Amino acid sequence: MRILSGIQPSGSLHLGNYFGMMKPAIELQDQGEAFYFIANYHSMTSLVDPQARRSNTLDVALDFLACGLNPSKTVFFRQSDVPEVTELAWILTTVTPMGLLERCHSYKDKIARGISPSHGLFAYPVLMAADILLYDSNVVPVGRDQKQHVEVTRDIAIKFNETYGQTFVIPEERIREDVASVPGIDGQKMSKSYGNAIEIFGEEKPLRKRIMSLVMDSRSPQEPKPDADKNIAIQLLKLVAPPEVSKDYEDRLRAGGLGYGDLKKALFEHYWNSFAAARAKRAELVADLPYVERVLAEGAAKARTLAQKVLKRARIASGLE
């Protein structure tokens, strides 16, 4: 089984990225041949600062390795180190119906948030299809917001296969329902671009402040809260604390008597401690950046060998060769 996923270097990675995508992806490393990459071509649709792209790319590499990506099991690379993906994206655009892209929520959402509607932003799902199909991927671990993009990939692969003969493997998304959409500090889906994210790595003081600013209602501590399971701090605590601990807080909130301030303090402590080992690992990696570069270069070389093979298949099928 080949497993593939990507993450954009468009800002600091957060708990939604970690629990929705990175942790499931890291756990899948042992169940097949995993290919994970940093989607820097995709980031060009929303980020135009070259220096920010460079430093975010390095940060994603550090974050992923610190969180447990094992480069001796997994092929880890920068998307742009395998430029074959852009040729495949062109080939795929020619069999992609306009209507398929016009229906994509993510395009509409991004425009609504003020990202400029470039052709790249519109064609984003085609490049993502190329990422997936270029490596004969079977399984794509992602958060719920990417489900439609994997469905589009399947439609494009089927269309190509119908047009030019059996060429591509049809992939499937793998979404862990318990963490499919992690809430941010305002209760909406946590996202780099909504300003509601809690970073995986960062300075203690601002992160403590951020967690203390979680939006709660105005009920008094004494008041029982029958909807305790809907509380954002409880939902986040379930991710970072052992189940008996989060259950205890949830029960106390439900019964009344637990103040939101105390709940948030507990959330911060558990969050901070749960990433202590990863933080230490990240500091080691920062001290050895040539190692990180080597990992990405070796990953790119392996990815490229497979990419060239699959691209050739598509070129022959479509009569380019």
Active-site residue numbers?
Answer: 110, 189, 192
138 lies in the binding site for ligand ADP (CB under 6 A): no
Q: Is 74 in the site for ligand TRP (CB under 6 A)?
A: no
Options 5, 45, 191, 231; binder of ligand TRP; rule CB under 6 A: 5
d(CA 130, CA 180): 24
* Residue 185 interaction partner, one of ligand TRP, ligand ADP, none, beta carbon < 5-8 Å per kind: none
Give the E-state strand segments of 136-284 in sequence order: 139-141, 172-174
Considering only residues 261 through 280, tell me which ones interact with ligand TRP, judged by CB under 6 A.
none
Between 41 and 275, CB nearer to ligand TRP: 41
Please list the helix, strand and coil fractions of the chain in percent, rounded to the nearest 5, in that order: 60, 10, 30
Query: Residue 193, interface with ligand ADP (CB under 6 A)?
Result: yes
Say whether residue 20 binds ligand ADP (CB under 6 A).
Answer: yes
| CA 12 to centroid of chain Cα atoms | 11
Rounded to whole angstroms, how far apart are CA atoms 32 and 134? 17
For residue 280 the two structure tokens come to 């230490």
Is residue 21 at the binding interface for ligand ADP, with CB under 6 A as the rule?
Answer: yes
Binding ligand TRP (rule: CB under 6 A), the pick from 63, 131, 199, 250 is: 131
- Collapsing DSSP to helix, strand or coil, 266 comes out as helix
191 is an interface residue for ligand ADP by CB under 6 A: yes
Is residue 12 close enough to count as binding ligand ADP by CB under 6 A?
no
Give the interface segment with ligand TRP, choosing from 46-54, 126-134, 189-197, 251-259 (CB under 6 A): 126-134
Q: Kindly state the smallest distance separating residue 39's Cβ from ligand ADP, in Å.
A: 8
Paired tokens of 190: 């946590």
CA distance 273 to 245: 14
Residues 170 and 289: their CA atoms lie apart, in Å, by 37
Burial class of 252 by CB neighbour count within 10 A (0 to 12, 13 to 18, 19+): middle
C-alpha–C-alpha distance, residues 173 and 30, integer Å: 18
Which residues share a beta bridge with 75?
35
**Residue 181 binds: one of ligand TRP, ligand ADP, none (C-beta under 5 to 8 A by kind):** ligand ADP
Residue ranges in contact with ligand TRP by CB under 6 A? 4-8, 39, 42, 128, 131-132, 140, 142, 146, 149
Residue ranges in contact with ligand ADP by CB under 6 A? 7-8, 10, 16-17, 20-21, 142-143, 145-146, 179-182, 189-193
